[in-house]
Structure 1
Amino acid sequence: MTVTLAQILPFLLTAVLLTATPGPDNLMVLGVGASKGRRLGMAFGLGCATGCLSHTVLAALGVSAVLAASPVAFTALRVLGGGYLVWLGIGALRSRGGAGVAAAPEGSTGETSLSRQFLKGMLANAINPKVVLFFLSFLPQFVVPAQGHVPLQMAVLGLVFTLQAAVLFGALGWFAGGIGQWLQRRPRAGLWLDRVSGVVFVGLGVRMALSR
């Protein structure tokens, strides 16, 4: 076997602990879930988890190493990622309140909102340069070169990381969405929560763009 159970179990435990640790992804999922409701919060969380697949592919192919070794490429990715989060934050700050979105009936508009939040979460994670470096440094620690097929081992471990992240982020979006349901009956509170969510996104984006 390319990847053994002795590799996966400690990797999975470490991955769960790291994913559960408060960080930018957790804050974004909490913000979307609380301001937009359970379904959209879960969609955003699943998108964030799916974004891990792109980092897995890059790490397995060695592209992450190239990005890390190129100051220009890494800076460009950092500024692009930060700018995208700022753009999301400005959208939340200009919102008229998330309760109306959370309460949208089933149909084309609701499905579009779900797919939109999923894509937003996936893109927010995929263009985060810190996650690029994280996967480049984290996955190889659990690879056993003697077993061969190193890129395949990294791909399997990355898939395991993505699956556990999908479970945790999905659950986080669900529980945060409970707040969103409460806010459906209080539009004014939902409006202010959108403002808080926007500030979080803008702050994370500026931090990412200016980080070294």
Structure 2
Amino acid sequence: MGVDFLLTALIVVIAPGTGVLYTLSVSLGRGLSPGLAAVVGCSFGIVPHLAAALLGLAAILHASAVAFQLVKYAGVIFLLWMAWKTLKETGTAGDGPEAPRGLVRIAVRGALINVLNPKLSIFFLAFLPQFVDPAAGNATAQMALLGLVFTVMTAAVFALYAVFAAAARSQILGNAAAMRWLRRVFAAAFGGLALRLASETR
């Protein structure tokens, strides 16, 4: 595993996307513990795509227009639902300890955000083989290790996003107008990501 892979993976992970947006939204709106639950969900949501790439299912998704469209529009609908839920939230949830059921719900939503993005499977299918060393043998094992490192890196970077967002939350928590506009911004961002996903092609 070379430095080139680590640097490239870090750039990909840091870049704003649905997972980053969801983590920031939850951390700012609810606090650190819910934000970390979002991190766990988003990270686990990567695993099915990694498995698909390793098993060759990503190639099927890439080749099949019907399969790609089904997963894509399921993701679009989910992102639009997330936009609506964010817009409808009221108050300053997260002032007290979050119930375990609430944390699980947050993690599940984070996982679904990534699971319902078909581009992730195709990304792994195209990205990981570039860093496989033929001389090292067992390309599948190498890809699995690279995917694991990518997932751990994602969790670490997203956790930093959650920590900083939760810290910034204290500055805006008492401002109802700021919280209201923040929800609108995140709702608009989820809606924008849904439109972008809808326009994606294989």
**Shorter-chain TM-score above 0.5:** yes
SS, match of residue 56 in structure 1? helix
After TM superposition, give the deviation of residue 120 of structure 1 in Å. 0.9
Q: Which residue of the other structure, out of 11, 14, 18, is the alignment partner of 1:17?
A: 11
The secondary structure found in structure 1 opposite 2:45 is: helix
How far off its partner does 1:204 sit? Answer: 0.9
**Identical positions, percent:** 38
SS at match of 1:102: coil
| Separation (CA, whole Å) in 2 of partners of 1:181 and 1:119 | 26
Structure 2: tracts of 5 or more residues without a match: none
Partner of 1:162: 151
Does the 8 A contact of 1:29 with 1:41 survive in 2? yes
Counterpart of 1:195 (choices 146, 160, 184) is: 184
User: CA offset at residue 92 of structure 1?
Assistant: 0.8
**Range with bigger deviation, 127-136 or 141-150:** 141-150
Q: Pick from 94, 113, 133: which aligns with 1:124?
A: 113
On the 8 A contact 2:173/2:179 being kept in 1, the answer is yes
Query: Is residue 165 of structure 2 the alignment partner of residue 173 of structure 1?
Result: no
- Unpaired segments ≥5 residues, structure 1: 1-6
Partner of 1:103: 95
For 2:100 and 2:168, the matched residues in 1 are separated by 21
**Count of aligned pairs between the two proteins:** 201
| Relative contact order, higher structure (CA 8 A, sep 6+) | 1
Q: Which of 204, 208, 211 is the aligned partner of 2:200?
A: 211
For 2:108 and 2:163, locate their aligned partners in 1 and report how far apart those are by CA, in whole Å. Answer: 18
Quote how far apart the aligned CAs of 1:32 are: 2.3
Shift of 1:209: 1.8
Which of 145-154 and 198-207 deviates more?
145-154
TM-score (structure 1 length as normaliser): 0.87
Residue type at the aligned position of 2:42: C
Aligned positions of 1:33-44 closer than 5 A: 33-44=27-38
The answer on whether the counterparts of 2:27 and 2:35 sit within 8 Å (CA) in structure 1 is: yes
TM-superposed CA distance for 1:147, in Å, is 2.8
Look up the equivalent residue of 2:76 and give its one-letter code: G
2:127 corresponds to which residue? 138
**Aligned position for 2:88:** 94
SS of residue paired to 2:46: helix
Q: Kindly state the Cα deviation for residue 164 of structure 1 after the two structures are TM-superposed.
A: 0.7
Q: Secondary structure at the match of 1:114?
A: helix
Task: Note if contact 2:18-2:113 (Cα within 8 Å) is conserved in structure 1.
Answer: no
When normalised by structure 2's length, the TM-score is 0.91
Moved more, 40-49 or 167-176: 40-49
Q: Pairwise CA RMSD of aligned residues?
A: 1.7
